[in-house]
Amino acid sequence: MLRAQLARCTVPMATRACASRDSAGSAAGGPVEAAIRAKLEQALSPEVLELRNESGGHAVPAGSETHFRVAVVSSRFEGMSPLQRHRLVHAALSEELAGPVHALAIQAKTPAQWRENPQLDTSPPCLGGSKKTRGTS
Amino acid sequence: MSASLSRAAAALLRWGRGAVGGGGGGGLPGVGVRAASSGGQAEQLDALVKKDKVVVFLKGTPEQPQCGFSNAVVQILRLHGVRDYAAYNVLDDPELRQGIKDYSNWPTIPQVYLNGEFVGGCDILLQMHQNGDLVEELKKLGIRSALIDEKNQDSK
């Protein structure tokens, strides 16, 4: 519940207290998630920002902040191609993408487009990544 | 491919970043703009993405994808009946893995190139598949999507 509320919150959050894990095993938001949120707020002034840490579904240690999915809804995207929109998101998160964030699934929509389908999709299942070796070390 | 590319790329990278150029669409000021290429790796990658009409950089192979997002690209191409495409496995070659990100100024894999031009990653390809753009883009390349025939059958 809290997680969903946080996902829907569009108030800029400069600081966020580090939360301990809840019983379901997912953190209420680590530092990387907070940074992503803050930077996208600042860069795009989104009407809607939904962010989900999907690291739990990948071959990374518990508590990782490496795989994210984000839905950004902003009228700034009007007239921009998908490529331009994604590049804008990348630019805002260049530090994270050069650092801990390994995967970022992006839904970048105008407010009208979001209203047609207002939901954060789910990512395809992990297939092991580079951890899955085939006969070589 | 990867051995000579690795050596060339490694040598170039020792001279520092800036060895990128070409490719990519939809640039905005300050975004997608890169320093002039100092040759070598960028040229090799440029040639690579232009060598075939459909070029993808994946984690794993089309037969054995090792990433859900790369697999999505493979499955979409399969749905459209695209069989003749070049697929490069970045897990085989760390220099390629970083080099292609520098080349396109795109931070993640998979990467899709159509007619030598960077189109986007898995999300964008999926969007193009869903809204019909992919059928059109393939048509421009002289590739008839298998879904056209399916669609015609459905509407009869």
Higher-confidence residue of A9 and B57: namely: B57
What's the average model confidence in pLDDT over A41-55?
96
Q: Do A129 and B66 touch (CB under 8 A)?
A: yes
- Which of the four pLDDT bands, split at 50, 70 and 90, describes residue B151? low
CATH class name, domain A31-116: alpha beta
- Residue B31's pLDDT is 36
% pLDDT > 70, chain A: 74
Which residue among A83, A123, A132 places its CB closest to the CB of B66?
Answer: A132
Is residue B28 predicted with pLDDT exceeding 50? Answer: no
Which residue among B25, B26, B60 places its CB closest to the CB of A127?
Answer: B60
Q: How many CA atoms lie within 13 A of A69 on its CB side?
A: 17
Higher-confidence residue of B103 and B36: namely: B103
List Cβ neighbours of B25 (8 Å cut-off, separation of 6 or more): A81, A83, B117, B118, B119
- Residue B14's pLDDT is 42
- Tell me, yes or no, if A6 comes closer than 8 A to chain B by beta carbon: no
3-state secondary structure of B60: strand
Is residue B59 predicted with pLDDT exceeding 70? Answer: yes
What's the average model confidence in pLDDT over B34-61?
86
CA distance A16 to A29: 8
- Mean pLDDT, chain A, integer: 82
| Selection from A40, A41, A32, A34 nearest residue A11 by Cα | A41
Is residue B96 predicted with pLDDT exceeding 50? Answer: yes
State pLDDT tens for residues B65-83.
Answer: 999 999 999 999 999 999 9
What's the average model confidence in pLDDT over A88-113?
97
**Is this prediction's ipTM beyond 0.90?**
no
- Show residues of chain B in contact with A134, CB under 8 Å: 64
Gyration radius of chain A over CA positions: 16
CA distance B8 to B6: 6
- Say which DSSP state B143 is in: -
Nearest residue in A to B89, CA atom: A130
Nearest residue in B to A125, CA atom: B68
- Show residues of chain B in contact with A107, CB under 8 Å: 123
CA distance B21 to B45: 10
Distance of alpha carbon A32 from the chain centroid: 10
State pLDDT tens for residues B100-145.
Answer: 999 999 999 999 999 999 999 999 999 999 999 999 999 999 999 9
CA distance A55 to A61: 8
